[in-house]
Amino acid sequence: MYFFFRFTVMEKFQNRYRIPSARASWWDYSADGCYFITICTVNHECLFGKIVNGTMHLSPIGKTVNEEWHKSFDIRKELFCDAFIIMPNHIHAILRIDNPDGGGGAHVKTHGRASLPLPASPAQSPPQRTPKSISSFVAGFKSAATVKINILRNTPKMPVWQPRFHDRIIRDENEYRRIIHYIYENPLKWTDGEFHG
């Protein structure tokens, strides 16, 4: 696979246990560059459709996810989707940030489920996230898609996504090409994949 998994431990924060952020602490995720991300459904539930003869067939929920994914780029002019596929229980994508101002921004306060905790001491509150970042995009997309999915299936406040997502900073053109190939070959290898339900 082409993404890093990091060992995590539970940390106590404001008398509650939480999983620390899996983002690379040394990298600014609002910086210009390409990122390979994977977003999974809660409990790897196959909500988005099924693979038949190596081709993904979207369910009504999968079509809603597809629509919300593409809408997300209409409101984020610094963000581009270079490759994307919806699988039965996850999404793979290559996202490219191309900020006219060079990327990077001040941290802003977040709210609700959109908050992704950064490694922090208990003195730092509330959680913060860099605007125009990969985490900001994923949180916004997941929130919008969840609302639409729960309206569609009449399940108010039911979780759709795992709380976190996998990411990899793409470092060169060869890696970029390998990942694009992996994404588009994913339906053909569904029964062999780690996310197969």
Residue 13, pLDDT > 50, answer no
Residue 84, pLDDT > 60, answer yes
Assess contact for 121 and 22: CB atoms under 8 A.
no
Residue 186, pLDDT > 70, answer yes
Greater confidence (129 vs 82) lies with 82
Peptide bond into 156 cis (omega under 30): no
- pTM score: 0.71
Residue-level pLDDT at 98: 84
Residue 47, pLDDT > 80, answer yes
**28-112+126-191 belongs to CATH 3.20.20.70:** no
Residue-level pLDDT at 11: 35
User: Where do the domains of the chain lie?
Assistant: 28-112+126-191
Name the pLDDT band for 86 (thresholds 50, 70, 90).
very high
Residue-level pLDDT at 99: 75
Q: State the average pLDDT over residues 38-48.
A: 96
Q: Which long-range contacts (CB under 8 A, 24 or more apart) does 159-163 make?
A: 159/42, 160/41, 160/42, 160/47, 161/39, 161/40, 161/41, 161/42, 162/39, 162/40, 162/41, 162/42
Residue percentage of the chain with pLDDT more than 70: 65
In angstroms, the CA 194 to CA 58 distance is 20
Mapping DSSP to helix (H, G, I), strand (E, B) and coil, where does residue 175 land?
helix
Residue-level pLDDT at 191: 80
